[in-house]
Amino acid sequence: MAKYPSQPKHLTALELPLPPRSKLAPDLQKYFAVCDAKIGFLPNVLASYTFDEKKLRAFIGLYNDLMLEDSPLSKLEREMIAVVVSSANRCYYCQVAHGQAVRELSGDPALGELLVMNYRAARLPRKQRAMLDFAHKMTVAPDEVGEPDRAALRKAGFDDRSIWDIASVAAFFNMTNRVATAVDMMPNEPYHSANR
C-alpha cells in the first residue's frame, strides 16, 4: 500500500525562493544543526521562513521566548495549550508537531490524542483543565473573555504572571495556526510515528 500519499508533498503551497541551508547566515546554520541533533530533523516551519532571514529570526525569537524560556508553566503545559488551540483551529501542521511534543514530554501517548480530539474527554488535574478551558475560550470566543475567566484561573492556582504566559502561548498558536493553514504548511513525516 502507498506510503503517505494523502499528505501533500510541498513545504507550503506558496512558491517562495528558499536558499540552500549552506547559504544562510552562520548562526542560523548552527541553530538548524542543533535542531537536527535534538529533534532529528529540521522542522518544516523553520525551513518555510528561510526565504527571509529577518522573518525567520523574528519567529524564532518569539517562539523560543514563549516555549523554551523560564516560565511558571512547564514545557508540557505550554505544549498542551499549543495542541488544544491548534485543535480548536484545526491546524494540521501544529496538531501533528505539537501532538508529538505532548506525547514525548508526557510519556502518555493517549494524552496527545485526547488533546487533539477533544480535551474535555481527558482526565486532568483541575488546574490544567482550567488552563486549557481558558486557552480554548480565548481561541473560539476571544471577544467574550473577561474578568470571570481570569478569576477562574486565579482560583485554580495561577498567579498573574502565569496568566500572562497562558494568554501569550494560546495567542501565539492562534497566530501560527493561521499562518500554517493559510499557506498549507506540511509537517515533517517523522512526527507521525514518534512516541506512539
Write out the binding residues for its own copies, residues 12-51 only, by CB under 8 A: 13-16, 51
CB of 40 to its own copies, least distance (A): 16
Q: Which is nearer to its own copies, 42 or 179 (CB)?
A: 179
Measured CA to CA in angstroms, residue 91 lies from 10, 24, 49, 112, 191 at distances of 16, 28, 18, 15, 15
3-state secondary structure of 103: helix
109 binds its own copies (CB under 8 A): yes
CB nearer its own copies, residue 32 or residue 116 = 116
53, three cell numbers: 532571514
Distance CA 166, CA 174 (A): 12
The verdict on 67 binding its own copies (CB under 8 A) reads no
Q: According to the binding rule CB under 8 A, does residue 106 interact with its own copies?
A: yes
CB atoms within 10 A of CB 54: 8
Q: Cα 111 vs. chain centroid, distance in angstroms?
A: 15
Q: Is 155 in the site for its own copies (CB under 8 A)?
A: no
User: CA angle at residue 37 from 106 to 7, to 5 degrees?
Assistant: 70
172 binds its own copies (CB under 8 A): yes
CB of 83 to its own copies, least distance (A): 10
Residue 162 neighbours by CB under 8 Å, 6+ apart? 71, 72, 73, 153
Q: In this chain, which stretch among 25-33, 34-42, 158-166 interacts with its own copies, using CB under 8 A?
A: 158-166
Number of residues that bind its own copies (CB under 8 A): 81
From 28, 59, 82, 97, residue interacting with its own copies (rule: CB under 8 A): 59
For its own copies, give the closer residue by CB, 34 or 121. 121
If one asks whether residue 100 binds its own copies (CB under 8 A), the answer comes out as: no
